[in-house]
Structure 1
């Protein structure tokens, strides 16, 4: 099933130019054809095309379905890599797997000081359409490390740190019924001072296994584990 994205639903009755072109020119949809839409806020829409224009396709809503809400919140916080292509790939795949919020933060070894949320949002839209979801994860602007530690919404809070002597694995401490926040550090990892500060703020230092992982690989592994527990 092909999904079209229109964040102004249900007020708007038109697809934007890019979605209109794809619908009419690529998929060859015409008047009276039915299409499926999402608003990014948790609702699926079934609609019928009333004007098949390739720049401004008009539709009429036939029915709506609300996406089932999970009783927990999955929050991934990550220090972005210097290469933003890797971060965009991560956000896309994490969204496909399932995550409710993604934050970016600066730590001591961070190499990137600017994150363009607008560009990342395009990857998120593509990912929710691909994975048949109706809700976009919340994306937060780049924050200082100390600010991310003050998060009040999570009950389970973890910091993933490369320590081969640490036998506390994330998978053994996840709880499907509690809001979870997991911190993933930069390529140079967290400093010991940052780990100690996080632990003082209630975070648990956890391992993601015996391999030393790239930042985006570690983040995706954490998201996968959160979904294994909650599915």
Structure 2
């Protein structure tokens, strides 16, 4: 495998970043550059002139936080690629009526599909919220709390909170296909997923630098990203995953927090995947 110098690796990442963000498809541009305030609704009106009712948290956000009123234009999305523009037709004490100004748009999902497994169940002080928020913004398809010997559980109340974090982040970054928060996953079950995946990357100290390792992953736009808990995986867990077929990758010479390692690895593979899907100019 070709060895990259630090300068060459830095230049490569700059190139990937430029290509990924300057050569996106039109559909992706539609997802990320909308100018109207955007809100979530499980039900969307299919055609121009149809009306849906908005209530609950989104109603509160629209009317009490942003102070929107009748005739203000907004967008609704359903987290499954559906997007529609309309305006507020009427407001009462319990909700508002949204009237569609055009027909429903259905945006296809991105071809890039990376699934994150991270041992963040024991993180405190909002660090797990930050991890999940940034995974949403970067475009991860799913995030699963990974249960390990050093991070054996995560509370149901915390999972509920993380769902709310994902929705807020999806609205902020104009993401139309919502990231899925998967149920907690044990290492033993993860081994099964590794066996079925073409690419599984495990962040590990003193491993081959990730940019070097990914030179052999041309045209791969999906896979698993695995990050250990605070204190890292046990030697037994590490050996089990290596035996199952994961590729250990390094993220530099410094010891990283769980959330930092997750975002560093996810950002790298997302930029790499975008560059592989974009035809050279």
TM-score by length of 2: 0.74
- Equivalent residue for 1:97? 138
CA-atom RMSD in angstroms: 2.2
Structure 2 counterpart of 1:147, from 149, 166, 189 = 189
Structure 2 counterpart of 1:38, from 73, 77, 84 = 77
**Separation (CA, whole Å) in 2 of partners of 1:169 and 1:28:** 47
* Gaps in structure 2 of 5+ consecutive residues: 1-35, 275-281
- Equivalent residue for 1:67? 107
* Bigger share in helix: 2
**Separation (CA, whole Å) in 2 of partners of 1:7 and 1:25:** 21
**Distance of aligned partners of 1:39 and 1:184 in 2 relative to their CA distance in 1, 3 Å threshold:** same
Paired residues in the alignment total 229
Q: Secondary structure at the match of 1:210?
A: coil
**Distance of aligned partners of 1:150 and 1:159 in 2 relative to their CA distance in 1, 3 Å threshold:** same
TM-score by length of 1: 0.89
* Bigger share in strand: 1
Verify the 8 A CA contact 2:113 2:141 in the aligned structure 1.
yes
- Equivalent residue for 1:2? 37
Verify the 8 A CA contact 1:5 1:37 in the aligned structure 2.
yes
- Most deviating of 79-88 and 205-214: 79-88
* Gaps in structure 1 of 5+ consecutive residues: none
**Distance of aligned partners of 1:154 and 1:73 in 2 relative to their CA distance in 1, 3 Å threshold:** farther
- Equivalent residue for 2:200? 157
Alignment of 1:18-29 (within 5 A): 18-29=57-68
Query: What is the CA deviation profile of residues 105-137 of structure 1, one whole-angstrom value per residue up to 9, with x for unaligned ones?
Result: 211221644353221110001101110111111
Q: Secondary structure at the match of 1:75?
A: strand
Alignment of 1:179-190 (within 5 A): 179-190=222-233
Q: Secondary structure at the match of 2:237?
A: helix
**Distance of aligned partners of 1:55 and 1:170 in 2 relative to their CA distance in 1, 3 Å threshold:** farther
Verify the 8 A CA contact 2:145 2:154 in the aligned structure 1.
no
Bigger radius of gyration = 2
